[in-house]
Structure 1
Amino acid sequence: MARVRFIGPETVTVPELGDRVVEPDEVVEIPDDRFEGYVCQPQTWESVEEPKEEPTSAPLLPMRKSAVKPQKDEV
């Protein structure tokens, strides 16, 4: 979870956070994927802790498929 500080002048209710009441200068945790939606409002929110980077994994290799056995025709 990322963290941002509310720098607005008055208490606000944030519907996205379950109608949480946020006081001026209060730090709140937000989902990492919503971080940009807060910090793009620099007059209201400032970054405290940015989202953690997702660990980079090795590229996925294609799955090997076993050979398909031919079906026997019933005579």
Structure 2
Amino acid sequence: MARVRYLGPEQVTVPELGRSVEPDEVVEVPDERFEGYVCQPSNWEAVEEPKDEKAPAKKTAAKPQKED
């Protein structure tokens, strides 16, 4: 689960979480919904990004071989 901080000035009800969130409160959100929160930078701040366990390991590209 990812974590975000609510930056708004007053309490807000978040139906997705099934509860209210207070100003400056850090809450856990589903990884797949993380972007839906942080795309609202005036209301939410990223605290802990989702762990991308399903993504394949990053590999560096091989350098092309020179042919003479």
Q: The TM-score by the shorter chain falls in which range?
A: 0.7 to 0.9
**TM-score for the superposition, normalised by structure 1:** 0.71
- For structure 1, the residue ranges without an aligned partner over 5 or more in a row are 58-75
Task: For residue 37 of structure 1, give the secondary structure of its aligned residue in structure 2.
Answer: helix
Listed as ranges, the matches of 1:59-74 within 5 Å are none
> Greater CA radius of gyration, 1 or 2?
1
**TM-score for the superposition, normalised by structure 2:** 0.78
- Cα offset, 1:53, TM superposition: 1.4
- For structure 2, the residue ranges without an aligned partner over 5 or more in a row are 58-68
Task: For residue 32 of structure 2, give the secondary structure of its aligned residue in structure 1.
Answer: helix
Aligned pair count reads: 56
Q: In structure 1, what is the equivalent of residue 25 of structure 2?
A: 26
* Percentage of identical aligned residues: 77
Task: For residue 16 of structure 1, give the secondary structure of its aligned residue in structure 2.
Answer: coil
